[in-house]
Amino acid sequence: MELTSVADLVTRARAGDQAAWDDLVARYLGMVHAICRGWRLGVDDAADVNQVVWLRLVEHLDRIRSPEAVGGWIAATTRNECLRVVRASGRVVLTGEDGDLDVIDGGDAGIDAGLLVYERDRALLAAFDRLGDRCQRLLRLMATDPPPSYDEIAAALDMPVGSIGPTRGRCLEQLRRLLA
Amino acid sequence: MTDTAAPWPRGDALAADLGRALGLVDPVPDAWRDAATAAFSWAAVDAAAARLEYDARGLRGRRAHDHGLPGTEVREVRYVAGGVAVALQLDLGADKLRLLGRIDPARRATLVLAWPEGRWDGESDDDGTFRADELPRRPFCVVVDGARPVKSGWIVP
């Protein structure tokens, strides 16, 4: 979806067009989900964050200065809501640039791989679960359909646009090493 | 794909395999789509959006006049719009909340407490106070009706 069409959806949604709103939801719901899962929120907390993000967007729709950048606003708002939940739960939030790229030994399986039929998928997801949080968040986001733009990823992860590509490359290499 | 011995691809191909596997095991719940779609109806509420002026959390039992259950959480928020202020005290249980509110300047008014799955209709008394018990502990907002209706932002208890 081109940026201009996203801006058009925002403009139409402002005018009360439910279909345009539904298209915005279709465009960005996967991204919101990926961000929430990346922060390992509980089922109820994650559902609340999803709900609040969309409710806040409704409130904010008339005040968005750059409608084409609505995805970045959604990404940043989702991240902030996730951080609010994480902090309220007393969990420590690490914000290091490189430290949380490290592999997690014996990492907590955030994914129920037991549901999978295929051994190869099971192995891939087990390796993914051993990646550091930052790698997991980035790869999960970039696996979203449709994929977010680099600007949206930058807003979601609070990282410079220029480091997204190289970091993704390092994370995929790390994933492959874990699979070897 | 059952051959676990086949070499793993690199780069984009590995990312694509990962995306497919994540999509299988961790899809977006249908309820999320329903909630996001339903949020749009909030845009139809024709009321002035109030500004959050105050938001504080604490535990009960710290004040002499506090008669709630000691150790439970209490939160106080205050919204203002134009010349109207709405002060709210939230008594937070595990999955329920009790709401005590006051409109300033004091007046009798029709109120709606709305959350995505439901609503509570009530009114304030002549002192501007109102109370709602046994509300679900879900994101909610308050709409104060009148000549110039006012709505709070979404409060996440």
Tell me the three-class secondary structure of chain A, residue by residue. CCHHHHHHHHHHHHCCCHHHHHHHHHHHHHHHHHHHHHCCCCHHHHHHHHHHHHHHHHHHHHHCCCHHHHHHHHHHHHHHHHHHHHHHCCCCCCCCCCHHHCCCCCCCCCCCHHHCCCHHHHHHHHHHHHCCHHHHHHHHHHCCCCCCCHHHHHHHHCCCHHHHHHHHHHHHHHHHHHHC
B85 in the same domain as B130 = yes
Residues of chain B with Cβ-Cβ distance to A47 below 8 Å are: 29, 31-32, 35
Distance from CA of B126 to the nearest CA of A (A): 30
Of the candidates B10, B98, B59, B42, the one whose C-alpha atom is nearest the C-alpha of residue A172 is B10
B89 in the same domain as B23 = no
* φ/ψ of residue B116, rounded to 5: -55, -30
* pLDDT for residue A98 is more than 70: no
- Answer yes or no: is B1 within a domain: no
B130 in the same domain as B87 = yes
- Answer yes or no: is B51 within a domain: yes
B63 in the same domain as B129 = yes
Q: Which amino acid is at B20?
A: R
Distance from CA of B46 to the nearest CA of A (A): 12
Distance, in Å, from the CA atom of A119 to the CA atom of A114, rounded to the nearest integer, reads: 10
- Answer yes or no: is B111 within a domain: yes
Of the candidates B10, B135, B140, the one whose C-alpha atom is nearest the C-alpha of residue B86 is B140
* pLDDT for residue B122 is more than 80: yes
B55-to-A163, B10, B75, B78 alpha-carbon distances in Å: 37, 49, 7, 7
- Answer yes or no: is B106 within a domain: yes
What's the pLDDT band for B41 if we cut at 50, 70, 90? confident
A148 cis-preceded (ω within 30 degrees of 0) = no
Say yes or no: B58 contacts chain A, CB-CB below 8 A.
Answer: no
- Answer yes or no: is B143 within a domain: yes
Q: Token pair for residue B52?
A: 């959050």
Please say whether the beta carbons of B33 and A29 come within 8 A.
yes
B72 in the same domain as B36 = no
Distance, in Å, from the CA atom of B124 to the CA atom of A78, rounded to the nearest integer, reads: 35
B120 in the same domain as B66 = yes
Residue B141 pLDDT: 87
* pLDDT for residue B64 is more than 50: no
**Straight-line distance from the first to the last Cα atom of chain B, in angstroms, rounded to the nearest whole number:** 46
* pLDDT for residue B29 is more than 80: yes
**pLDDT averaged over every residue in chain B:** 84
Distance from CA of A94 to the nearest CA of B (A): 24
Residue A111 pLDDT: 53
Domain extents in chain A: 3-179
Do B2 and A119 count as a contact with CB atoms less than 8 A apart?
yes
Within 13 Å of residue A105, how many CA atoms lie on the same side as its CB? Answer: 0
Residue A83 pLDDT: 93
The length of chain B is 157
Residue B60 pLDDT: 59
∠ Cα B34 B40 B41 (to 5°): 100
pTM: 0.74
Q: By mean pLDDT, which of A120-134, B66-80, B109-123 is the weakest?
A: B66-80
Distance, in Å, from the CA atom of A169 to the CA atom of A136, rounded to the nearest integer, reads: 13
Distance, in Å, from the CA atom of A121 to the CA atom of A108, rounded to the nearest integer, reads: 17
Say yes or no: B118 contacts chain A, CB-CB below 8 A.
Answer: no
Residue B70 pLDDT: 54
Say yes or no: B5 contacts chain A, CB-CB below 8 A.
Answer: no
How many domains is chain B partitioned into structurally? Answer: 2
Do B35 and A47 count as a contact with CB atoms less than 8 A apart?
yes
Do A125 and B2 count as a contact with CB atoms less than 8 A apart?
no
B50 in the same domain as B38 = no
Assign a CATH topology to domain A3-179: Rna Polymerase Sigma Factor; Chain: A (1.10.1740)
- Answer yes or no: is B138 within a domain: yes
What's the pLDDT band for A93 if we cut at 50, 70, 90? low
Over residues B99-104, the mean pLDDT reads 95
Comparing alpha-carbon positions, the chain A residue that sits nearest to B11 is A172
Residue B71 pLDDT: 59
Distance, in Å, from the CA atom of A79 to the CA atom of A137, rounded to the nearest integer, reads: 11
- Answer yes or no: is B75 within a domain: yes
Please say whether the beta carbons of A107 and A127 come within 8 A.
no
Q: By mean pLDDT, which of A94-108, A121-135, B135-149 is the weakest?
A: A94-108
Residue A106 pLDDT: 44
Residue B100 pLDDT: 95
Do B154 and A55 count as a contact with CB atoms less than 8 A apart?
yes
Do A29 and B28 count as a contact with CB atoms less than 8 A apart?
yes
What's the pLDDT band for A87 if we cut at 50, 70, 90? confident
Distance, in Å, from the CA atom of B75 to the CA atom of A75, rounded to the nearest integer, reads: 27
B70 in the same domain as B117 = yes
Mutation target for B interface from A24, A121, A136, A153: give the one with most B CBs within 10 A: A121
- Answer yes or no: is B92 within a domain: yes
Task: Write out the residue range of the structural domain in which residue B78 sits.
Answer: 46-151
Q: By mean pLDDT, which of A15-19, A101-105, A167-171 is the weakest?
A: A101-105
Distance from CA of B118 to the nearest CA of A (A): 14
* pLDDT for residue A108 is more than 50: no
Distance, in Å, from the CA atom of B10 to the CA atom of B72, rounded to the nearest integer, reads: 52
**Predicted complex: ipTM over 0.90:** no
Please say whether the beta carbons of A110 and A80 come within 8 A.
no
* pLDDT for residue A62 is more than 70: yes
B73 in the same domain as B31 = no
Over residues B40-48, the mean pLDDT reads 76
* Residue A107 Cα to chain centre, angstroms: 20
> Computed from CA positions of residues A127, A129, A130, A136, in that sequence, does the dihedral angle turn out positive or negative?
positive
Can you count the helices (H) and strands (E) in chain B?
2, 10
> Helices marked H in chain B — which ranges?
11-25, 30-38
